């Protein structure tokens, strides 16, 4: 009986990686392990170092310090063409004067493979991305989305150990982005190829990753699966960057059963889940996602034990298609963001409302 092959949890490994450009330290003492077969996104704002990290792995930059490993082998001194990586960038970077077939075949030509095998592999790659019929065309005869799929075919045809993608969807319009995101996701799962995907788009990262690595100023802020980083953000930056968070200043009062009780600026109290250990009197901030509130008319509110409740007036309302986004001003002038998903959300600007939220959706972070 064949033994089941365990997946390598550190298929790609960055160990103490640092990269300096003159005075700018783009990546700072970075340790990161990428499991075999997974899709990992490097997520962060412009300038946080994600492209630099990818370029170091690709061999396009050398690290100032630290080591990189693929399949346990140190890569620092291995030239780019010997690293067996597939790469896709924002601009498709197809050769304009070569046919689609020749574009896809490009990476195979230097591999000592017979013409007939090259033909077979290219045809298979084009079939995989559902563009089997375009081999004879030139890149200019394809749409932007199709060109990006050709770039994908060119990257996978060499059967890379790791697929690197740097903002591959950012040149596409919203609908195409969605299609392409699913295409990449399905292809990655079907091929099982270890993939590192750079993006500054949190929705993209959350929707397709096995693991999200949130970066800022050259440091990893948090890594984990999408639910972990979204629901259990470890700090203000991560909670804010992943979208639609409310932050409310508070002071720790006491433990109340499984929750902590905190006092807000207007002397109201709130039950929360602490992200770490707190002492009485500590200043902290509560993070509440805009989607976690239940909204209703103030006059309809029925107090329920153990629920956190806020009262205020709607000061802004935007209909977003599937949801309605509200901004509600509390008596103490604090404005909370609420996203309501019900089919017809009747509330209007000026309405007096209550917002209710369970303690488990109120996370307490150190300031
Ligand atoms: P973006 O999303 O805008 O591409 P990023 O997170 O990928 O940003 P990097 O491109 O890795 O960020 O850049 C990180 C930092 O390093 C930035 O401050 C950038 O200006 C700097 N940097 C990157 N490449 C170079 C270079 N070749 N020379 C000098 N500084 C550089």
Mutate to test the pocket of ligand 1, among 19, 20, 21 (most ligand atoms within 8 A of CB): 21
pLDDT at position 89 over 70:
yes
Is 52 close to ligand 1, i.e. is its CB under 6 Å away?
yes
pLDDT of residue 331: 87
Confidence grade of residue 324 (pLDDT, cut at 50, 70, 90): very high
In sequence order, what E strands does the chain have? 12-21, 24-34, 39-43, 65-70, 73-74, 85-89, 162-166, 194-199, 211-216, 219-224, 245-256, 259-264, 269-274, 283-289, 294-297, 308-319, 324-330, 335-340, 352-357, 363-366
CA atoms within 13 A on the CB side of 277: 0
Confidence grade of residue 247 (pLDDT, cut at 50, 70, 90): very high
Which domains can be identified in the chain, with CATH numbers?
Answer: 10-237 (3.40.50.300), 244-366 (2.40.50.140)
**Mean pLDDT, the chain, whole residue set:** 92
The closest residue, in CA terms, to atom 26 on ligand 1 is 21
Token pair, residue 222, equals 């948090």
- What is the SS3 assignment for 9? coil
C-alpha 137/C-alpha 140 separation (Å) is 8
The closest residue, in CA terms, to atom 7 on ligand 1 is 51
Question: Is the CB of residue 150 less than 8 Å from the CB of residue 73?
Answer: no
pLDDT of residue 11: 97
* pTM of the full structure: 0.90
Range name among 19-23, 37-41, 257-261, 351-355 with the lowest pLDDT average: 257-261
Question: Is the CB of residue 167 less than 8 Å from the CB of residue 200?
Answer: yes
pLDDT per residue as tens digits for the range 103-133: 999 989 878 889 999 999 999 999 988 899 9
C-alpha 82/C-alpha 156 separation (Å) is 15
pLDDT per residue as tens digits for the range 34-64: 999 999 999 999 999 999 999 999 999 999 9
**With left for phi above 0 and alpha for psi between -120 and 50, is residue 285 left, alpha or beta?**
beta
Confidence grade of residue 92 (pLDDT, cut at 50, 70, 90): low
Q: Comparing C-alpha atoms, which of 304, 289, 301, 311 is closest to residue 360?
A: 289
pLDDT at position 309 over 70:
yes
Token pair, residue 302, equals 């029925």
Is 44 close to ligand 1, i.e. is its CB under 6 Å away?
yes
C-alpha 150/C-alpha 24 separation (Å) is 35
Is 62 close to ligand 1, i.e. is its CB under 6 Å away?
no
pLDDT of residue 115: 92
Tell me the sheet residues that pair with 308.
Answer: 357
Q: Comparing C-alpha atoms, which of 183, 167, 85 is closest to residue 129?
A: 183
pLDDT above 90: percentage of residues in the chain: 77
DSSP assignment of 305-358: TT-EEEEEEEEEEEE-SS-EEEEEEETTS-EEEEEE-SSS----TT-EEEEEE-
Is 49 close to ligand 1, i.e. is its CB under 6 Å away?
yes
- Distance (angstroms) between ligand 1 centre and the Cα of 143 equals 29
Is 128 close to ligand 1, i.e. is its CB under 6 Å away?
no
């Amino acid at each position: 009986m064949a033994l089941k092959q365990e997946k390598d949890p550190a298929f790609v490994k960055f160990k103490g990686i640092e990269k300096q450009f003159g005075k700018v330290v783009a990546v700072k003492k970075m340790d990161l392990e990428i499991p075999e077969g997974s899709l990992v996104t490097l997520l962060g704002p412009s300038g946080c170092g994600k492209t630099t990290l990818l370029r170091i792995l690709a061999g396009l930059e050398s690290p100032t310090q630290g080591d990189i490993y693929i399949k346990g082998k140190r890569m620092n001194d291995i030239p780019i063409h010997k690293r067996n990586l597939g790469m896709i960038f924002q601009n498709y970077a197809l050769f304009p004067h070569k046919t689609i077939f020749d574009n896809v075949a490009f990476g195979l030509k230097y591999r000592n493979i017979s013409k007939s095998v090259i033909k077979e592999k290219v045809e298979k790659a084009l079939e995989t991305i559902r563009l089997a019929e375009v081999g004879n065309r030139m890149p200019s005869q394809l749409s932007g989305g199709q060109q990006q799929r050709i770039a994908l075919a060119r990257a996978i045809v060499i059967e890379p150990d790791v697929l690197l993608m740097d903002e591959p969807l950012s040149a596409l319009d919203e609908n195409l982005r969605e299609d392409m995101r699913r295409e990449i996701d399905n292809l990655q799962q079907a091929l099982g190829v270890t993939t590192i995907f750079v993006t500054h788009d949190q929705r993209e990262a959350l929707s397709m990753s096995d693991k999200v690595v949130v970066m800022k100023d050259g440091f990893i802020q948090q890594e984990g699966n999408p639910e972990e980083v979204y629901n259990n953000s470890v700090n203000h930056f991560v909670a804010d960057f992943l979208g639609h968070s409310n932050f409310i200043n508070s002071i720790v009062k006491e433990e109340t059963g499984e929750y902590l009780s905190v006092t807000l600026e207007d002397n109201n109290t709130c039950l929360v889940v602490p992200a770490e250990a707190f002492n009485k009197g500590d200043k902290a901030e509560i993070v509440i996602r805009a989607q976690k509130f239940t909204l209703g008319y103030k006059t309809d509110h029925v107090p329920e034990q153990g629920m956190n409740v806020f009262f205020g007036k709607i000061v802004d309302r935007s209909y977003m298609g599937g949801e309605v986004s509200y901004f509600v001003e509390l008596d103490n002038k604090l404005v909370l963001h609420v996203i309501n998903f019900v089919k017809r959300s009747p509330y209007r600007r000026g309405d007096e409302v209550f917002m209710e939220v369970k303690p488990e959706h109120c996370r307490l972070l150190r300031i």
